[in-house]
A and B are shown apart, each in its own frame.
Chain A
Amino acid sequence: MKKMIALAIGAALLLSGCGGDSATSAAEAKYGSSTLKLYNWGEYMGENLISNFEDEFGVKVIVEYFDSNEMMYTKLQAGDAYDVIVPSDYMIERLMKENMLQKLDLSLIPNISNLAEGLKNLPYDADNSYCVPYFWGNVGIVYNHNNVDPAEVERLGYNLLQDTTYKGRIYVYDSERDSFMMALKALGYSMNTENESEIEEAYNWLLQMNDTMEPAYVTDEVIDGMINANKDIAVVYSGDATTILDENEDMSFFLPTEGTNLWSDSMVIPANAENPLLAHEFINYVLTHDASYDNSETVGYPSSNQEVLDEMSAADGIYGENEAYLPRTDYAKDEVFEDNPVLKQKLAELWIKVKASH
């Protein structure tokens, strides 16, 4: 028995010894630790992003995934420590207000000069003192141009989702933010409105859609659903539209003239991060040409790196023919979501009521 224990201890020592090779100890000397804890969206990274970063800097990356900003926020509030997180615009605004983020040291992120033009001067953090964009895009309509006339799509915009000709043939994104954005824009209001009667009107617009159109409320299933042409119309994130158009040439993309959401997901370092130096290194790494290219190629979302964006959307680039890839910027009716907890709570409840009323 004693022999067995000795053997086990020996094996454990041997195993722990294996971790301490020269690259790791170099990283430890430089950053204070050799482990980076990353908290990102699922299916949101290039195939080799993590392994290349690990090899290049001799570190280990632990990745965890979330599927909503709210889930991420709940975990962060519970005290879980991460070094880098990639939340969306309005959530970053909220984290900033609540002092849950560290100020970035931009001298450690020289690649910030690669940032895409459309992502400079973000309304919630104009000088990138807290966040560096990761992916961005719009929300628009993907439709099957064999079954839906493009002229109709352009004429109706979001009101296409109220035209009973297409009953039972639509996907709607299952989130209160995106559905109310669509309804408010269709009615010609701001998607950040706090006006009670405008919200009420949007609620009725969604109820009308729910009661007459038999919509299917989906999240990521919309990608496969549209690739398989299960339905004819879907309101989706432009990055998902890029993938759909890539896989099925019957699909087209349209950004409604009533305006849409210009969103961005950015990398931030939480206040309780244990390894901020390595976190800066990772943020800088994501902005390199190769890492950005890998990300955008795998995921299909628009890159935050201007050079990659130009390269991919050029005529001979991999998304050169894809009308969904390049985000629309400088369009007056497009807006960025603002953080408003009271409004958000109200919309969340109205949205579940819309879905439940049938």
Chain B
Amino acid sequence: MVKQFRNMAMPYIVWMVAIIVLPMLLIVLYAFTDKGNDVTTIRFSLENFARFFSDTVFMSVLKRSLYIAILTTVICILLGYPIAYAIASRSERSKLFWILLITLPTWINMLVRTYAWMGILQDEGVVNHLLGFLGIPPITMIHTTFAVVLGMVYNFIPFMILQIYTALTKMDKSFLEAASDLGANAVQSFLRITLPLSIPGVISGITLVFLPAVSSFFIPKLLGGGQYVLIGNVIETEFLTSGDWNFGSAISLAMAVIIMVSMYITKKVDTDPGANGRRE
């Protein structure tokens, strides 16, 4: 019986190898070889990585990308947590309604929504027109860090809210009753019970926000303008404009490693008993 089921998984395994594993291996292969290879001769080299890490411009782009991604993630937590908490503490029907509202924008293509922000933030856009009515001089918002971070927070915050919300609703309410029986006030029971139990949701929220934020290329391109270069834009240029797939792959791989290491550290902090109080 079990064997039969195992066979049924075969098509999926073949599919996953073809769609996920093979392309990844290709990226690794490209990253460690130099240009001009054909099928018969492959020269391995670390040249691509040396070129990336020794270049001060690329390093400052990398730093800027990490900064923007961290800033986006932090804002998503600060805004997303209270929202998720508020939704989780409502009645069953009301919860469904609010979650629907949160997910509703994601039904529309992300690119289209980002274009909408372009129209809103432009010098001649909606916001500045409204300000004009109030007699306030126009503010330049498009092509600034503000616009890029706004675009990222807007696009990625539903992932954060949903993760925290799920963690909060899965929580056993009897813990809170026990706490209040034992004399804890609202603040105490939040800090000692709700918060620690929702941390796994925050962690997966961080993963889901930080990953796309650090590699996004069209949000900086549309809202930051051509002069707002993040690492995703460099990778895009290497693949599409310069056609240097080896160097592009090397940057992608370097980014993947950096992300994996930071995720590992985040997970480690989560499971470390000393990090959040009373966990065994």
Contacts and interface: CB of A to CB of B under 8 A. Distances in A.
Given A216-B143, A230-B124, A356-B61, 12 more contacts: A70-B241, A174-B226, A176-B241, A216-B225, A217-B227, A218-B225, A218-B226, A219-B226, A228-B123, A348-B242, A349-B238, A351-B237
Contacts of B238: 349
The 8 closest A-B pairs by CB, nearest first: A217-B226, A174-B226, A348-B242, A356-B229, A345-B242, A348-B241, A353-B57, A356-B61
A352 B237 contact: yes
A341 B226 contact: no
Interface residues on A, range: 20 to 34
B233 A352 contact: yes
B234 A356 contact: yes
A355 B238 CA distance: 14
Contact of A345 (B229, B233, B243): B243
Contact of A70 (B227, B233, B234, B240): B240
Contacts of A345: 242-244
B240 A68 contact: yes
B240 A71 contact: yes
Which of B60, B61, B229 has the most chain A CB within a 10 Å cutoff? B229
A215 B238 CA distance: 23
Interface string B217-244: 0000000011101000110011011111
Contacts of A216: 143, 225-227
A76 to B, nearest CB: 13
Which of B227, B234, B238, B240 has the most chain A CB within a 10 Å cutoff? B227
B66 to A, nearest CB: 14
Contacts of A358: 227
Contacts of A348: 237, 241-242
A35 B225 CA distance: 39
Nearest to B118: A221
Which of A210, A346, A356 has the most chain B CB within a 10 Å cutoff? A356
Nearest to B241: A348
A344 interface: yes
A355 B240 contact: no
B243 A355 contact: no
A174 to B, nearest CB: 4
Interface of A: 68, 70-71, 74, 174, 176, 210, 215-219, 228, 230, 341, 344-346, 348-349, 351-353, 355-358
Contacts of A228: 123-124
A217 B225 contact: yes
Contacts of A71: 240
Contacts of B55: 353
B75 to A, nearest CB: 24
11 contacts: A68-B241, A70-B241, A74-B240, A215-B227, A230-B123, A345-B244, A346-B242, A349-B238, A349-B242, A356-B234, A358-B227
A70 B238 CA distance: 11
Contacts of B241: 68, 70, 176, 348
B57 A356 contact: yes
Nearest to A345: B242
Contacts of B57: 353, 356-357
Contacts of B124: 228, 230
Interface string B134-151: 000000000100000000
Contacts of B233: 352
Interface in B49-105: 55, 57-58, 60-61
Contacts of A356: 57-58, 60-61, 229, 234
A348 B237 CA distance: 7
A344 B242 contact: yes
A230 B55 CA distance: 35
A228 B125 CA distance: 12
A176 B238 CA distance: 12
